[in-house]
Amino acid sequence: MKSEGNNPLFFLRENLMISEQKIKDLVEEKIVDTSFFIVDVKVGLGNKVSVELDGDQGITIDDCVSISRHIESSLDREEEDFALQVSSAGLDRPLRHHRQYLKNIGREVELITKDGNTLEGVIKSANDQLVLELPASKKKKLPAREEIIVWENVKETRIIISFK
């Protein structure tokens, strides 16, 4: 059996020239004193860099372009080639950052708990715990109610997009 040190993929993974922390630091440098925040940063094989951002009032394409240019101008392609994608956290993506829950208070979501239960309701608050207002269910003979969910029990939350 090969050791990790002899595995070529391990070698490539361990010797990436661009670190996720370096990218996070560059983004933070650019977004300091703004309402923007990092949702996710990934650096894959071949220095494929992906940055996902959001903002308390949203984020525009122009904002993403500005941040992308800042990252590009801070890295040297002669020293380390890379591919860079800076994008906003789309409505179709799960919520992953506490600030995303805060900015979506009042919106309808589908939440899956770690034990597999699915809840559909409106985010009422997102502080120490997540509070969803669940509608009445005639099938299950349940009245409208509030459900308190501890953060550790949230597996995935997605915004329900409605065109009503």
| Same-domain check for residues 25 and 84 | yes
Give the single-character DSSP code of 47.
Answer: G
What residue has token string 């040297």?
A: 76
Q: What is the span of the domain harbouring residue 103?
A: 98-159
Per-residue pLDDT of 67-115, as tens digits, reads: 999 999 999 888 889 999 999 998 889 999 999 999 999 999 999 999 9
* First and final C-alpha spacing in the chain: 58
CB atoms within 10 A of CB 47: 16
Alpha helix stretches (DSSP H) within 7-160: 8-14, 20-31, 61-74, 98-103
CATH code, 48: 3.30.300
Task: Report if residue 93 sits inside a domain.
Answer: no
Q: Which of 69, 88, 107 is at the close of a domain?
A: 88
Q: Which of 30, 62, 88 is at the close of a domain?
A: 88
Q: Rounded to two decimals, what is the model's pTM?
A: 0.79
Task: Report if residue 14 sits inside a domain.
Answer: yes
Q: How many domains are there within the chain? A: 2
pLDDT over 80 (residue 11): no
| Same-domain check for residues 81 and 25 | yes
Q: What does the alpha-carbon distance between residue 158 and residue 108 come to, in Å, rounded to a whole number?
A: 9
Per-residue pLDDT of 126-145, as tens digits, reads: 999 999 999 988 887 888 99
Q: What does the alpha-carbon distance between residue 7 and residue 145 come to, in Å, rounded to a whole number?
A: 54
Helix (H) or strand (E) holding 148: strand 145-149
Q: Which of 88, 123, 141 is at the close of a domain?
A: 88
